[in-house]
Amino acid sequence: MFSLEGITDAIYSWLNSTFNPTIALLIEFAIVVVCVIGLFAVLGLVLVFMERKVSAYMQIRLGPNRVGFKGSMQTMADTLKLVLKEGLVPDGADKFLFNLAPFVVMIVAMLILAPIPFARNFQMWDINIGVLYVTAVSSLSVIGILMAGWSSNNKYSLLGAMRSGAQIVSYELSAGLAVLSIVVLTGSLQLSDIVNSQQDGWWIFKGHIPAIISFVIFIIAVTAETNRAPFDLAEAESELTAGFHTEYSGMRFALFFLAEYVNIFIVCSIGAILFLGGWMPFHIGNWEAFNHVMDFIPSSVWFFGKVFFLIFLIMWFRWTFPRLRIDQLLNLEWKYLLPISMFNLLLMTLMAIMGWYF
C-alpha cells in the first residue's frame, strides 16, 4: 500500500544498492534537506492562506479570491513581493545581532522537527528523550525573539520582545506539566512509544478527566507560547506596531513570519501526538469492520488531519476571545493554570498508579 514508510525504504535500499555508502549517505542528507525546506515553504504558504480564509469566513467575508484558484496563489504572490522588498537595517541597530536573530528563530523551528513522527515509522531521529528534547529546544526560540527586539534600536521592539519573553517562559511551565501528565501514563519520553501506547485508544479518551484537563491547559499554553491571539500582546498592532519584528523588512521579516507559522504547526503536532494519538487511526473497541475501514486511511493523513484540526482550533480562538492585558495574562498563568496543572499532575499520578485508566 502507498505509505511514506514504503517510499523512504525504497529510496534507502535503492541508494545503498547503487552507490557506495558514503555517497549514499550524502545523497540521503541532500534529500532530507530538500524535503525539510520544501515542508517549510509549503507549510508557510498553506497556513497563511488557511489563516486568511478562516478569518474571512468567520467575519462573513470572502478573503483572498483573486490570484489563482479561489485565491490559493495569494500567499505565493505575497512572498514574491517580500523577496523584492529592500531589507533595511535601522541606524544605530546592533547589526550582527539584528542579522543573526532570524537565523536563530529558523534554526530552532527546524530543529524541533527531528523527533516528530509524521507517519508510521517515518521519523528523522527516534530519540529516547523526545519529549524533553522538544521542550528544551522550543524554549530556545525566546533567545531569537529577545535578540531581535534588543538589537532593533526601537522602543516598541524592545517592549514587544520583553512581553513576548515573559509570556513564553511563563506558559512553558504549564505546557510542560501538561505534557508530563501524559509521560506519567506512558512511562516513556520517546515519542514513538507514546504514539504506540495509544493503539487501543487515544489518551484524551483513555485518561479520563485529568487527560482532558491537561489537553485544555496544553492548548491554552501553546496558544500563548506561539504568541497567538488572544495572547498576542507581544505584537499588539494597536499598541506596539508589530512587536519585536517592527524594524524587520523584506526577506528577514518573511523568515520571522514563516517561523511563527511553522511553530504553530509544531506545537499542534506535539499536541496531536500526546493527546490525539499521532498517526494512530481512530478505533472504537471491538467494532472490527469500522476499525478496518479506519486502518485503510494512510497514517500520514491521520497525522496531518489531527494537526490541522488543532491549528483550526487555535485560529478559531483568535476570532472568539478579546486580547488580554499583560497583568491578566500573567495572572492567568501563575494564579490559575500553574496550580491547576500541578494538582492535575498529582491526580494523574494517582490514577496511573491505581490503574484507573483504560
Residues 244-283 contacting other proteins, CB under 8 A = 246-247, 250-252, 254-255
Q: Given candidates 61, 91, 289, 322, which one binds other proteins under the rule CB under 8 A?
A: 91
Q: Given candidates 45, 147, 159, 191, which one binds other proteins under the rule CB under 8 A?
A: 159
Q: Given candidates 165, 196, 212, 300, which one binds other proteins under the rule CB under 8 A?
A: 165
Partners of 122 in beta bridges: 119
Q: Given candidates 6, 335, 356, 358, which one binds other proteins under the rule CB under 8 A?
A: 335
The answer to the question of residue 293 lying near other proteins (CB under 8 A) is no
User: d(Cα 31, Cα 21) in Å, to the nearest integer?
Assistant: 15
Restricting to residues 92-121, name those near other proteins by CB under 8 A.
92, 102-103, 106-107, 109-111, 113-114
For other proteins, give the closer residue by CB, 67 or 107: 107
Please answer whether residues 163 and 234 qualify as being in contact, where contact means their C-beta atoms are separated by less than 8 angstroms. yes
The answer to the question of residue 170 lying near other proteins (CB under 8 A) is yes
What letter would DSSP give residue 94? -
Q: Given candidates 4, 27, 36, 294, which one binds other proteins under the rule CB under 8 A?
A: 36
Q: Smallest distance from the beta carbon of 322 to other proteins, in angstroms?
A: 18
Three-point CA angle 44, 118, 227, nearest 5°: 40
The answer to the question of residue 153 lying near other proteins (CB under 8 A) is yes
CA dihedral 270, 244, 323, 182 (to 10 degrees): 20
Q: Smallest distance from the beta carbon of 115 to other proteins, in angstroms?
A: 9
For other proteins, give the closer residue by CB, 54 or 184: 184
The answer to the question of residue 327 lying near other proteins (CB under 8 A) is yes
For other proteins, give the closer residue by CB, 250 or 305: 250
Q: Given candidates 319, 334, 356, 358, which one binds other proteins under the rule CB under 8 A?
A: 334
Q: Smallest distance from the beta carbon of 201 to other proteins, in angstroms?
A: 18
What letter would DSSP give residue 187? -
Q: Using CB under 8 A, which of the segments 226-234, 285-293, 305-313, 330-338 binds other proteins?
A: 330-338
User: d(Cα 137, Cα 125) in Å, to the nearest integer?
Assistant: 14
For other proteins, give the closer residue by CB, 158 or 191: 158
For other proteins, give the closer residue by CB, 311 or 338: 338
For other proteins, give the closer residue by CB, 51 or 172: 172
